[in-house]
């Protein structure tokens, strides 16, 4: 597949993959479900890898949640082989209900499997999220009231993974597959309104496009980029502030109360997560912050996985 032979959508995918890589990325591992986004990514990554002399492999995760999932995984493996992938791992995972919901549990199982494969190859993991996925993530974060970090969406690079297609609309990946004669798999879960992300995709975003005009998806993705830069700076400042507030294995309240609220809540959220708190919501952090800013001798704050007390002017976990 020479550059001259590439269709416009395929060329856009190839250019996006090439732009996302760094000199240290010597082995590429593409996560592929068989859907249009990951198939287009796999095609673009293979093209870039061959031209640059990089090693490349694929990984398909079978969640086992649907009848015939093994056949879907095999079809994805076959598609990758057709794109020139000699090394494709098909990994079946067990999705364990943990109270977070089936979507989150499946995501956690998938991420763990992908990280295991990435580490085994010392590879750069590539994921096929698009600009549409970014817009959906921003809207879901807005609905949860999760703050700037959630509204910042997904980075192109971060958490040992790369998302080369975040700047491209989903329509480009669909067109890329059509140009290459690929037949993507359609996940029935992607049409199930029981999932919040599906409702955002099928109902909320089209409504916003109709009422506010075209360009909403691109605007949401652009907002995520701007918010990510702000959140990165605040997180860096919060790391410095946390070091200055440490005292006797906890956090000194007199140092916390002197911080701007934007830094104080970040310090507390990171501290709580490090201590083992799970599923932190904004009201959890606010309750702990009240031990600092609204101290009246109140008792401990109970959070998922731990409780927080204030003793002798220091916040401690139990």
Higher pLDDT, 159 or 17: 17
Q: Which of 93-102, 185-194, 269-278 has the lowest mean pLDDT?
A: 93-102
Please state, for a pLDDT cut of 90, what percent of the chain lies above it.
Answer: 80
Residues contributing to the annotated binding site for ATP: 33-38
Q: What angle do CA 208, 210, 214 make, to 5 degrees?
A: 80
> What are the residue ranges spanned by the domains of the chain?
3-212, 248-317
| Residues in CB range of 179: below 8 A, 6 or more apart | 6, 7, 8, 9, 10
Model pLDDT, residue 100: 61
Mean pLDDT computed over 145-157? 85
* Of 110, 114, 113, residue with least CA distance to 125: 114
Model pLDDT, residue 241: 97
Mean pLDDT computed over 214-218? 94
Decide if domain 3-212 falls under CATH 3.40.50.620: yes
Model pLDDT, residue 239: 95
Model pLDDT, residue 88: 97
Residues contributing to the annotated binding site: 33-38
* Of 147, 151, 155, residue with least CA distance to 264: 147
Strands 246-247 and 124-126 turn out to be unpaired
- Residue 65 — very low, low, confident or very high, per pLDDT cuts 50/70/90? confident
* Of 169, 177, 100, 183, residue with least CA distance to 133: 169
């Amino acid at each position: 597949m020479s550059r001259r032979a590439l269709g416009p959508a395929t060329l856009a995918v190839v250019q996006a993959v090439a732009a996302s890589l760094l000199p240290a990325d010597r082995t590429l591992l593409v996560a592929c479900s068989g859907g249009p986004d990951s198939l287009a990514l796999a095609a673009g990554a293979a093209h870039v890898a061959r031209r640059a002399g990089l090693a490349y492999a694929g990984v398909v995760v079978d969640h086992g949640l649907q009848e015939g999932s093994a056949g879907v995984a095999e079809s994805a493996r076959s598609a990758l082989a057709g794109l020139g992938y000699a090394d494709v791992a098909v990994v079946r995972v067990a999705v364990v209900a943990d109270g977070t919901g089936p979507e989150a549990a499946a995501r956690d199982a998938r991420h763990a499997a992908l990280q295991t494969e990435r580490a085994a190859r010392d590879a750069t993991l590539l994921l096929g999220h698009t600009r549409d996925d970014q817009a959906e993530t921003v809207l879901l974060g807005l609905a949860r009231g999760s703050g700037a970090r959630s509204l910042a969406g997904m980075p192109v690079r971060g958490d040992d993974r790369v998302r080369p297609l975040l700047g491209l609309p989903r329509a480009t990946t669909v067109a890329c597959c059509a140009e290459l004669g690929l037949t993507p798999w359609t996940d029935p879960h992607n049409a199930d309104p029981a999932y919040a992300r599906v409702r955002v995709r099928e109902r909320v975003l089209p409504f916003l496009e109709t009422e506010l005009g075209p360009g909403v998806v691109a605007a949401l993705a652009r907002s995520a980029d701007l918010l990510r830069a702000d959140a990165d700076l605040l997180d860096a400042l919060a790391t410095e502030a946390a070091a200055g507030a440490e005292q006797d294995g906890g956090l000194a309240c007199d140092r916390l109360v002197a911080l701007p609220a934007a830094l104080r809540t970040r310090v507390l959220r990171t501290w709580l997560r490090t201590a083992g708190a799970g599923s932190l919501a904004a009201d959890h952090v606010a309750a702990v912050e009240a031990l600092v800013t609204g101290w009246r001798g109140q008792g401990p704050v109970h959070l998922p996985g731990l409780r927080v007390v204030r003793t002798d002017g220091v916040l401690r976990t139990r």
